[in-house]
Structure 1
């Protein structure tokens, strides 16, 4: 379920600057390099496709955690340097929650796997 939510979030936030850059900038602040904003949007949608339609859970983990860390670290660093809008701190928080959720899901799955009759 976490990968579906992460995928939908990346799809929506990636599509938004492509479809309506003006409303995107109203919330997130003025941008100089619109091509770069749109490129990040397209990359976000590419990651979303992998998360939404991928069949291999380990591959989704290897995609989902680093993607969330990448967004989170950019959000935090460029907030500290006062380069981007504070709204990106909300995104950083969401990315952090995603990472925790994925890690917790992995721990629960591993713990449940240890309880199966084959492992006793």
Structure 2
């Protein structure tokens, strides 16, 4: 078990080292290509701009990917409730306060609702 973990860590370290080497080589190549036209300061600024744009592009890609939501019929009841709470936070806060008062007065209702929400759905035929 420990041997497998150490092997995975060594592989991750090797991938990281290769990635860092590739990034540094790309930065040096970009600098060498632009230093004649823009001078040392301009070439350094272009390399810095490129270094800032790559993570920005990755972040935008993952942000767009994260916003893709499954169709409504594929979402569970809990996911739909959280989505509704995000869209209407004041109404969600009021509903939470009402549910809290109801739960304090009758804990059996809270138990029943939680059991219903946490119950797994049977798989849908495809």
Compute the TM-score of the two structures, normalised by the length of structure 1.
Answer: 0.30
Which is higher, the Rg of structure 1 or of structure 2? Answer: 2
- Normalised to the residue count of structure 2, the TM-score between the two structures is 0.29
